[in-house]
Structure 1
């Protein structure tokens, strides 16, 4: 249970893995925590400053909608109640290539403390996920090994490094031994909840949140063995207020590295924290993506690492038939969409638009045609978006019309059709190949057959579809939605 205590006008958190017995502490339910997150999303940033709902560090769409990486990460965590079945293989690059490569198929092989093994099973983990199979032996190895790992939300990554932190702790030592930093308050809270659940039976271990508003006196030493926080506050606790002795940290975890470097100031603060740690401190870094900027950052923070990477996701295209439809204007695109529905037996569909205006118009038109339609766009709070996706996943709506806020990481097995009502383009108007891959990857999940249909309404959009074909080296077939016989032949 997470316990919140009021200090002046701010919230301070101190979390025991065991049940707290202090009557002055106020216990919050999961629903109340969600409401708290919602209020934070609407009124302030992780440092307590009043800001607009949107953070301009995200990627902009044409109409100014921001795809904020921190919000996207939190959205994925909120909507994933179980592990995602990932077909992608992992590639392991060892620091010492002559060392034998270990992986585990059961949690018993890790020789965990009985209290932790009980906590793992209590969370519903029956066997290690693919990332856990390879990462956990490295995280728990003696002598300690550093690790850089690529892993999306839902693959069991947070549970893996939470288990590593709990395993490293010596409960008899009443000082901070494990330190984890995340880019936002909300993401730090999500990590803390996993540690609480996993350490439910490990009652001597305590957890504290290093976030702005949790005020500690200068020189007041923390007794909690695990600290989760955001970079600015963790840096203050280590340097300015001396609440944590960095030399006592034996395990340092940096989560959501790609989100971290997209947030102003967090990159430099993270490097300053890392430089204060002892040379023999074990370091683990996780990121959903590994662009050049992430690699450069990782190399600065994690010396001599083992590396776990996901192999490229293009293999998902093998189960997806791709088509394009030539249209003259918006009304023709909508007519083609209706013809497509008349031919295909569709379980559920996702339709992507480039702007909020277009998404709203299309959702209205489809509703008039009698379709059960859900609309998702960036002006919603993270919690509102999660609720819409849950309804869609549960089949309460058969069509989800969305902008780019929903292009990544949403796994709904029943989706058989993805329509790019507007093709994904970057700010220069060229093909955004990465977004295209993420969009059409919402269908053809888990080896099932899927269809992706792209609407072409100009010479420029035809150029874009040709760029996409060249990038992926895949032919995209022309589809005439007015010819029912041809559609049936191509779509069978």
Structure 2
């Protein structure tokens, strides 16, 4: 019996020693997504307290050459690369699992792609590669073929099916003032738990936030030029329900899960860097509602013939009808909430 206890004690020491270095790298395109994923890991980790988590994100200051002992590292690609090469906090040859979250963004964004490839090339042969995304375009498949030999492919849903719980509408407007009036009419006719409103530019987002604040709405504003700590604080307040409206650019288009979001407004329709319809961003934007099995509402503001052409592109791509909504008819607005 004593001999067994000694063996058990020795095993625990060896096991603990084995675990005291980084074995899993999870890369996300933004600070917010890294933080959100980390919070989920922390909740799961309550059942396995020996496993620790470190955040490799901008603003997390670390000393050069001091090896971190956390087994899981989640962060953004530039900081993770610095931790591996410049600061030498992580030995990439000891990594067992490498995860790319929102793989299509990581691959489509030139800087992220280069950094992700550099990290991947430092990893040992046999390291498990995991790529996650709601949308997998050809570029993602080609990249996956380069870094994941003989992959197992798991498809949960076709993208068309993910829209089944979301009612989609569009509103005809002539100006941003018309859009704002339509927004006020929607708020006046239906009960909205929390809403996310997407704008194309920071200037428009700032203007809209000021207008809604004057109307007495509790508004949070999120944009890319904010420090990562500020952005995290804004999202945390919104998640806690301290603000009911979150106005943002594409910073929050992906992955931010807030259960009480019942309405998404595309104040400006999403476009890619060349000004063309961006189907993936549209899907991710309106996908902020209709989550957790609940029904959601998405309203698109259309202010030109070009905007209407873009909207029709989304209709064809997802094979989903986007009906017109007359926001001057309060009875009609009330019906869409049922």
- TM-score between both structures, scaled by the size of structure 2: 0.74
Alignment of 1:52-451 (within 5 A): 72=30, 74-79=31-36, 83=40, 123-124=46-47, 185-186=56-57, 214-215=64-65, 230-231=80-81, 234=84, 252-256=96-100, 258=103, 259=106, 262-263=111-112, 265-270=114-119, 272-274=121-123, 277=124, 281-288=126-133, 290-451=136-297
Q: Distance in 2 between matches of 1:78 and 1:267?
A: 18
Structure 2 CA distance for partners of 1:121 and 1:463, relative to 1, 3 Å: closer
- Find the aligned partners of 2:70 and 2:195 in 1 and give their Cα distance: 47
- Alpha carbons 1:352, 1:402 under 8 Å: kept: yes
Output aligned runs, 1:24-35, within 5 Å: none
Instruction: Indicate the SS of the match to 1:307.
Output: coil
Offset of 1:431 from its aligned partner?
Answer: 1.6
Cα distance, 1:232–1:264 mapped onto 2, change above 3 Å: farther
Q: Unaligned stretches of 5+ in structure 1?
A: 1-14, 19-68, 85-118, 126-158, 167-181, 190-210, 217-221
Unaligned runs of 5+ in 2: 1-16, 21-26, 74-78
Partner of 1:480: 326
TM-score by length of 1: 0.53
- How many Å separate the matches in 2 of 1:444 and 1:287? 20
Q: How many residues align?
A: 301
For the aligned residues, what is the CA RMSD? 3.9
Q: Secondary structure in 2 aligned to 1:365?
A: helix
Instruction: For residue 351 of structure 1, give the secondary structure of its aligned residue in structure 2.
Output: strand
Per-residue CA deviations over 1:247-294 (Å, capped at 9, x if unaligned) read xx6x633232743774364355345435xx45xx35333444644444
Note if contact 1:314-1:437 (Cα within 8 Å) is conserved in structure 2. Answer: no
> Which secondary structure does the structure 2 equivalent of 1:425 belong to?
coil
Q: Secondary structure at the match of 2:298?
A: strand
Residues 442 and 227 of structure 1: is their aligned pair in 2 closer, same or farther, counting only changes over 3 Å? closer
The answer on whether the counterparts of 1:75 and 1:383 sit within 8 Å (CA) in structure 2 is no
Residue 113 (structure 1) aligns with: none
